[in-house]
Amino acid sequence: MFSNLRRKYDFTDYILWLIGATLLIAIIYGSFVTLSSGKYTTEQWLNFVIFGLAQGGIYALIALGYTMVYGILGMINFAHGEFFMFGTFGAFFVAEALASSGFLESNPLLSIIVMLMAAMIVSATVAVLSERIAYRPLRRAPRLVPLITAIGVSYFLQYTARGFFGSGVEAFPNVPALAGVVQLGPITMQRSQIAVFAATGILLFLLWFIVSKTKVGRAIRSVAEDKDAAALMGVNVDRTIALTFALGGIMAGAAGVMYGLVFRQVAFYMGFVPGLKAFTAAVLGGIGNLAGAVMGGLILGVIESVGPSLFLEGIGIPSPHQLKDGIAFTVLVLILIFRPSGILGERLSKRA
Amino acid sequence: MATLDIKNLHVYYGHIHALKGIDLHVEEGEIVTLIGSNGAGKTTTLRAISGLLRTPEDTSISHDGSELTQIRADQIVARGVVHVPEGRRVFSRMSVQENLTMGAYTRKNQQMVKDDLDYVLKLFPRLQERRAQKAGTLSGGEQQMLAIGRALMSSPKVLLLDEPSMGLAPVLVETIFDSIEQLNRTRGITILLVEQNAQMALQVANRAYVLETGRITMSGDAKAMLSDPKVIAAYLGL
């Protein structure tokens, strides 16, 4: 009887469940302590959530690129964070020019649209070129090969950016119209956060519309499901894959502009951590699933922003906000252990 | 001139020489069947015609006089050579309607597309009932109807059918074969049919080829083959 049990769950499973249970207890205990100490007001909690949602919106936009490429090629494109970085640089140079000409101050809305356009074009171009040069020749190679290539592409792009733009951190120009806060009832929102919400919402709607309602979207979904069958319908598979990379790049470029507006800095290494976070968000939501990427991004953003004060402070960890990256990657490890298919993901057995 | 003319078709999978120089032709308006046992190369032949497989340079596959070996699969569909693959391969996460729309992917004239859609839904009323349903939820027979219907939406001149009877109950096999004959008779669609069910295939076909381990070993009138002792012994299992 016990040997049966032992065959079903082995030693590592118990250890993993133990770790999970310990973390859960720590989170509940920490939250309880913090909440009962009354250190933060409701308004402060709301502000944490709003900051988290704005950050999460940026993750969501980047995560869409990961998830779309995974959906169509079954590959994790680890260079995707670099597409985001190039987009931010594209927006940065345009913003500098607009700021020095005074146009940024006199015409903020148009300026932001121009910045978005520039970033989207740059990111999409880098994405399409990466696919064409690095990934397409390896399409029939074993799965590990494109994965390693993606890491290579990532470093190539990072150090190309470093070569061109230098290794320092540049300050993203200030958009005066986005400075300051808006009071919405009990909630204080920064104007830049409102801009992020609006732009993210519009882009998500457009992407949803393209993928689910247009001919191009049907082509993308058909290629994602069955490349041969899609070709037999007359779909140009190579072009559709390139297009998917372009769409992912466009979303990453937009995320780059928002990152620049909210965090006001640009650097050649800036794609790495947001890229990993967005990957985490995509896995959290269920990789390959568009709605999942958005949900995962928002949830991750909120956990990261609320978590340190909520449960890390409660269990007595000093300066908990420096540990927010730790929270994100703990989330990644926990999902991979307990629910590898993510929140909305299909069970892997369904595919077999 | 044959509408589909294949000369010296070779296919290699790595070191395996799967097709060893096949010659076959299909005349306009004919139903031609390619029969043979598992692994003989029937599916490979169709995949080579529709451009899913690469062929060596001395292979020629021509449709109405123009060469197909040099163009991509998606361009071949636009020329009117349409392949219904083995195992149906419908887009299971799309609705029935979306699958049919995918069939018309290369077409510009929306009025003609609409007429074809009406025709397909009349030919297979079951699809009309399930238009909004995800294709993955259909039964095997319904999926086969959808696969054929989807191919009809591409406005085919030549239809390549790979094992339409596979995994279907006998009564459904009858339905599918009836509609194949009807397409040929009323719409004038030329058909190249690959089948394991040699009995059914030879009954609907005008001519037949027998494929054995990558070579054509016999060809001729389909009805004559039905009574050929060698065919009976090898493929009809009587």
CB A256 within 8 A of CB A123: yes
Taking the Cβ of residue A10 and every Cβ of chain B, the question of whether any pair is shorter than 8 Å is answered with no
Chain A positions touching B135 (Cβ under 8 A) are none
Give, as one character, the DSSP assignment of residue A94: H
Of A174, A86, A90, nearest in space to A130 by CA = A86
Please tell me the predicted confidence (pLDDT) of residue A1: 47
Given an 8 Å threshold on Cβ–Cβ distance, is B105 in contact with A237? no
Please tell me the predicted confidence (pLDDT) of residue A162: 92
Please tell me the predicted confidence (pLDDT) of residue B229: 85
Given an 8 Å threshold on Cβ–Cβ distance, is A233 in contact with B154? yes
Q: What 3 state SS string does chain B have? A: CCCEEEEEEEEEECCEEEEEEEEEEECCCCEEEEECCCCCCHHHHHHHHCCCCCCCCCCEEEECCEECCCCCHHHHHHCCEEEECCCCCCCCCCEHHHHHHHHCCCCCCHHHHHHHHHHHHHHCHHHHHCCCCEHHHCCHHHHHHHHHHHHHCCCCCEEEEECCCCCCCHHHHHHHHHHHHHHHHHHCCEEEEEECCHHHHHHHCCEEEEEECCEEEEEEEHHHHHCCHHHHHHHHCC
Given an 8 Å threshold on Cβ–Cβ distance, is B101 in contact with A228? no
Nearest to B154 among A222, A231, A234 (CB): A234
Confidence at A107, pLDDT banded by 50, 70, 90 = confident
pLDDT at B150 over 70: yes
| Residue of higher predicted confidence among A322 and B105 | B105
| Residue of higher predicted confidence among A163 and A311 | A163
* pLDDT tens digit sequence for A9-46: 678 878 888 888 888 888 888 888 887 887 778 778 88
pLDDT at A336 over 60: yes
Give, as one character, the DSSP assignment of residue A346: P
Residue B37 belongs to a domain:
yes
Given an 8 Å threshold on Cβ–Cβ distance, is A234 in contact with B94? no
CB A81 within 8 A of CB A275: yes
| Residue of higher predicted confidence among A18 and B207 | B207
- Exposed, middle or buried, A146 (CB in 10 Å: 0-12/13-18/19+)? buried
Given an 8 Å threshold on Cβ–Cβ distance, is A229 in contact with B51? no
Residue B92 belongs to a domain:
no
Confidence at A100, pLDDT banded by 50, 70, 90 = confident
CATH of the domain at B221: 3.40.50.300
Please tell me the predicted confidence (pLDDT) of residue A5: 53
Residue A181 CA to residue A43 CA, distance in Å, equals 14
Residue B94 belongs to a domain:
no
* pLDDT tens digit sequence for A233-292: 999 999 999 999 999 999 999 999 999 988 889 999 999 999 999 999 999 988 888 889
The mean predicted confidence, pLDDT, of chain B is 92
Please tell me the predicted confidence (pLDDT) of residue A8: 66
Residue B170 belongs to a domain:
yes
Residue B104 belongs to a domain:
no
Fold of A40-351: ABC transporter involved in vitamin B12 uptake, BtuC (1.10.3470)
**CA distance to A174, A258, A271, B85, per residue, from A265 (Å):** 10, 11, 12, 53
Please tell me the predicted confidence (pLDDT) of residue A6: 53
* pLDDT tens digit sequence for A65-94: 999 999 999 889 999 999 999 999 999 999
Please tell me the predicted confidence (pLDDT) of residue A2: 52
Confidence at A3, pLDDT banded by 50, 70, 90 = low
Please tell me the predicted confidence (pLDDT) of residue A349: 40
* pLDDT tens digit sequence for B73-118: 999 999 999 999 999 999 999 999 999 999 999 999 999 999 999 9
Chain A positions touching B103 (Cβ under 8 A) are 233
* Of the listed ranges A46-50, A64-68, B60-64, the one predicted with least confidence: A46-50
Kindly state the tokens that stand for A322: 């420096």
Instruction: Please report, as a single letter, which amino acid is at residue A89.
Output: F
Confidence at B181, pLDDT banded by 50, 70, 90 = very high
Delimit the domains of chain A by residue range: 40-351
What domain count does chain B have?
A: 1
* pLDDT tens digit sequence for B31-59: 999 998 888 899 999 999 999 998 898 99
Please tell me the predicted confidence (pLDDT) of residue A348: 46
Nearest to A234 among B78, B89, B93 (CB): B78
User: Which residue of chain B has the CA closest to A219?
Assistant: B102
Taking the Cβ of residue A228 and every Cβ of chain B, the question of whether any pair is shorter than 8 Å is answered with yes
Taking the Cβ of residue A350 and every Cβ of chain B, the question of whether any pair is shorter than 8 Å is answered with no
pLDDT at B69 over 50: yes
CB B231 within 8 A of CB B225: yes
Residue B80 CA to residue B154 CA, distance in Å, equals 7
The DSSP annotation for A158-192 comes to HHHHHHHH-SSPEEPPP-GGG-SEEEETTEEEEHH
pLDDT at A329 over 90: no
* pLDDT tens digit sequence for A171-223: 888 887 887 888 877 778 888 888 889 989 999 999 999 999 999 999 999 99
User: Which residue of chain B has the CA closest to A237?
Assistant: B74
Q: Degrees (nearest 5) of the Cα angle A149, A150, A156? A: 90
Nearest to B74 among A215, A226, A235 (CB): A235
Residue B224: domain span: 4-87+156-236
Q: Compute the count of residue pairs across chains A and B with CB atoms less than 8 Å apart.
A: 63
